[in-house]
Chain A
Amino acid sequence: MTPPDDIGAGGRRPARAPGARRLTRHRLFWPATFLASLLLGNVAFTHDFFAVRVQNGHLYGSLIDILQFGAPLILVSLGMTLVIATRGIDLSVGSTVAIAGALACEHIATAKDPGSLPTVLSAITLAVGVAAAIGLLNGLLVARLYVQPIVATLVLMVAGRGVAQLITDGQIISVSSSAYKMIGGGYWLTLPFAVLLAAALVAVTSFVTRRTALGMLIESVGGNPVASRLVGVRAAGLLVMVYVVSAVCAAVAGLMISSNVSSADGNNAGLWIELDAILAVVIGGTALTGGRFSVGGTVLGALIIQTLSTTIYTLGVPPETTLVFKALVVMAVCLVQSPAFRARLSRRRRPAASAPAVGDAGVRQQEVHP
């Protein structure tokens, strides 16, 4: 769990009212503020931005759109959060998204009865099963062969898209199956089914990681592998598990994406989603150095990215330039998270105070988050 002294240099800031201070130092404060200001900024351009209306028994509105289009990213980021908490990284999720979509659509398109529930269920099982195998491969490479995570998952990042195109034979496979359409484009209880599915998976993950010891074990493996081994944590199983979870989350996201557009595109489905997911995780306050994670922060991070994209569309700026904004956000967030940057900043602000040297801040940060 994150200790209260979360902000390294924050202890020496001028005292504010205790309530406000506790609020601003909450680890979700900055992501939440950023998301809120992005949303409020949108109102200036689109006055009915917050309007949600009911049409044909479904909820419609910009906010619902953000949730629906953000659902795959939330799922991929959810798996990525656990991987990053163990000091790893999973670059193969984009390829997994493509493979899962391709497998499911290929299965449904070649089935005798594409609309029937058993066909769709077996397609889902197939996609999720193959994704689990992908995660198992990544996990074994990392946990048993001690390959660096970035390298181990790079293999499938390179090969996976080729595999996805092999499955679809280089074509874009279209399916017409109302049952399959449900996953990414359907509605249930007036809400998009994708949002409910993502919410359910987020809820299960945060329950399992925060109400059992699992989350703490994951953080201990990421925070200090040597110490966690000495206290008897079996790291290998945990590592394999987080990579499997990450791949399965990516697979469900892949099903959502392909179901939403009723087609599978091995080349472009989930392209660069791994980078967006890493970005969402980092914005959410999970450090890339591992050892702590925040599922809530990740969800906020993913929503921020989706809102950013929506805002760009609303402003009429060419959508391709989203990348520039993303780059600026990544840099800003990373600088704020960097202890070295904070130390420099606080040194500049109060030269008289005995600001810690760059290295001290780094060590302290490690000690604070065991």
Chain B
Amino acid sequence: MSTTLSSPTRPLQPFSVRHAARLPLMVTATLLIAMFLIGSLLYEGFFSGQVLLNVLIDNGFLLVVAIGMTFVILTGGIDLSVGSMVALSTMLTAWLVEQNGAPLALAAPLVLLVGAASGALMGWVIHTFEIQPFIVTLAGMFLARGLCYTISTDSISLTDPTTTRIAQTRVLLPGGLFISPAVVIAVIVLALAFVVLHHTRFGRTVYAIGGNEASARLMGLPVGRTKVAVYAVSGLCSALGGLLLTFYMLSGYALHAVGMELDAIAAVVIGGTLLTGGSGFVLGTALGVTVLGLIQTIISFQGTLSSWWTRIVIGGLLFVFILLQRLFGGSRPALRRVLGSGRTRPRRPGGEGVGALAERDC
């Protein structure tokens, strides 16, 4: 078939695994509750709604970026350029507003447009020239980070009154709690993504491509258009995340969001989305981001643990969830011959498990 050279083919997900696919999500939810309870028991002042809301305030931009990443990973692709796109967006916003005197109302849509357009361009290259998403978005990552430096190698701080006013705005909730406008935007994006992925034709196509691109194409689904759109969504989300980060940091800097692509991928995986595509939930991604945020909160409450423990714990969680996905994510995927790229062996009626095992060791 014509897809042999495109992104690695993925194992077929049988239809009977709906509840099995939700297992990582359950684990994440349980983990979240357990972490919150343990934190509350260990540290004074941990058990409050504001601590949870602060997690969202500090990670609203990551949530938006991770939502975009969810779209891409659901199609079986990957977008390594998001961290750099976030940095480029902060840089562009700061440059336009601070050094060119452009009003924020003009700069923000422009930045979003740049993000969506560069995402779409990467998607187009990936689809048209059948180059692996990994390498195309890697080039995008280099390019965006390099373009940041061509704007300025120093940090540009924002003093524009509109921007600072938005950054200092607090949305008050009942009970004396508050959130930032960024959280509101992130939640709106989450709701939109949920509706788009689960209740529109586009969303079903995203899952179909992730499940099996060749089948999706044979079914007459618009594979090319959808793949381009998915990367455009990811670019748009990273540009929006960049805008939110600009408000959070009140500066544009080429070294903002270094390694954010890893955090976003980790959040998506911990949220129960299969990295091979075709199975996952955008709400799980929100849980994943909250787990990452809670890890940081617990470590800062602990006080004696250094910040690098965050990375180690996230890596450990990633490891556990990847193992979970392998062991429970499909029907006996560990028994199947999915060497490296995850290529499936032809399925024969009956006796797949034992036969595959016996043959593998021949």
CB nearest to B132 among chain A residues: A288
Interface size classification for chain B: 35 or more
Determine whether the beta carbon of A320 is less than 8 Å from that of B146: yes
Q: Assuming the A-B contacts A335-B131, A340-B129, are A323 and B311 also in contact, with contact meaning beta carbons closer than 8 angstroms in the complex?
A: no
Residues of A within 8 A of B362 (CB): 232
Determine whether the beta carbon of A226 is less than 8 Å from that of B345: yes
Minimum Cβ distance to chain A for residue B153 (Å): 6
Q: Assuming the A-B contacts A146-B326, A225-B340, A335-B129, are A320 and B153 also in contact, with contact meaning beta carbons closer than 8 angstroms in the complex?
A: yes
A200-226: which have CB < 8 Å to B?
221-222, 225-226
Contact with B along A311-324 (1 / 0, CB 8 A): 00000001011111
B66-110: which have CB < 8 Å to A?
78
Residues of A within 8 A of B147 (CB): 324
Contact with A along B304-315 (1 / 0, CB 8 A): 001111111011
Residues of B within 8 A of A155 (CB): 315, 318-319, 322
Q: Within 8 Å of chain A (Cβ to Cβ): is B150?
A: yes
A321 to B147, CA, bound (A): 7
A-B pairs with beta carbons under 8 Å apart, 13 shown: A143-B339, A145-B326, A147-B326, A166-B308, A170-B308, A225-B339, A225-B340, A289-B132, A320-B146, A323-B149, A326-B142, A334-B135, A365-B5
- Majority SS at the chain B contact face: helix
With A159-B312, A225-B339 already in contact, 11 other A-B pairs whose C-beta atoms are closer than 8 Å: A148-B276, A156-B315, A159-B311, A159-B318, A162-B311, A170-B306, A225-B343, A289-B5, A320-B153, A324-B147, A359-B1
B262's contact among A157, A229, A357, by CB below 8 Å, is which? A157
Q: Within 8 Å of chain B (Cβ to Cβ): is A89?
A: yes
Q: Assuming the A-B contacts A146-B342, A159-B316, are A282 and B143 also in contact, with contact meaning beta carbons closer than 8 angstroms in the complex?
A: no
B6-30: which have CB < 8 Å to A?
6, 8
Interface stretch among B31-39, B183-191, B244-252, B329-337? B329-337
Determine whether the beta carbon of B131 is less than 8 Å from that of A339: no
A221-268: which have CB < 8 Å to B?
221-222, 225-226, 229, 232, 235, 239, 266
Q: Within 8 Å of chain B (Cβ to Cβ): is A142?
A: yes
Minimum Cβ distance to chain B for residue A329 (Å): 9
User: Which A residues contact B (CB, under 8 angstroms)?
Assistant: 86-89, 141-143, 145-152, 154-163, 165-166, 169-170, 221-222, 225-226, 229, 232, 235, 239, 266, 275, 278-279, 282, 288-290, 318, 320-328, 330-331, 334-335, 338-341, 344, 357-360, 362-363, 365-366
Residues of A within 8 A of B312 (CB): 159, 162-163, 166
User: Which B residues contact A (CB, under 8 angstroms)?
Assistant: 1-6, 8, 78, 125, 128-132, 134-136, 138-143, 145-147, 149-150, 153, 254, 262, 265-266, 269, 275-276, 306-312, 314-316, 318-319, 322-323, 326, 333-334, 336-343, 345, 360, 362
B340's contact among A88, A323, A331, A359, by CB below 8 Å, is which? A88
Residues of B within 8 A of A235 (CB): 339
B129's contact among A323, A324, A341, by CB below 8 Å, is which? A341
Q: Assuming the A-B contacts A88-B340, A323-B142, A359-B2, are A288 and B311 also in contact, with contact meaning beta carbons closer than 8 angstroms in the complex?
A: no
Determine whether the beta carbon of A150 is less than 8 Å from that of B134: yes
A8 to B150, CA, bound (A): 38
Determine whether the beta carbon of A321 is less than 8 Å from that of B4: no
A324 to B145, CA, bound (A): 8
Determine whether the beta carbon of B275 is less than 8 Å from that of A151: yes
A348 to B144, CA, bound (A): 31
Q: Assuming the A-B contacts A86-B340, A225-B343, A229-B360, are A145 and B130 also in contact, with contact meaning beta carbons closer than 8 angstroms in the complex?
A: no
Determine whether the beta carbon of B128 is less than 8 Å from that of A340: yes
A159 to B339, CA, bound (A): 24
A89 to B80, CA, bound (A): 14
Q: Assuming the A-B contacts A142-B340, A324-B150, A366-B5, are A150 and B308 also in contact, with contact meaning beta carbons closer than 8 angstroms in the complex?
A: no
Residues of B within 8 A of A341 (CB): 129
A290 to B360, CA, bound (A): 21
Residues of A within 8 A of B308 (CB): 161-162, 165-166, 170, 266
A160 to B2, CA, bound (A): 38
Residues of B within 8 A of A330 (CB): 135, 138-139, 142
Minimum Cβ distance to chain A for residue B63 (Å): 18
Determine whether the beta carbon of A154 is less than 8 Å from that of B265: yes
Residues of A within 8 A of B135 (CB): 278, 282, 288, 330, 334
A324 to B150, CA, bound (A): 9
Determine whether the beta carbon of B340 is less than 8 Å from that of A145: no
Report the 5 A-B pairs with minimum CB-CB distance, sorted nearest first.
A159-B315, A359-B2, A162-B311, A323-B146, A324-B146
CB nearest to B258 among chain A residues: A271
Determine whether the beta carbon of B306 is less than 8 Å from that of A318: no
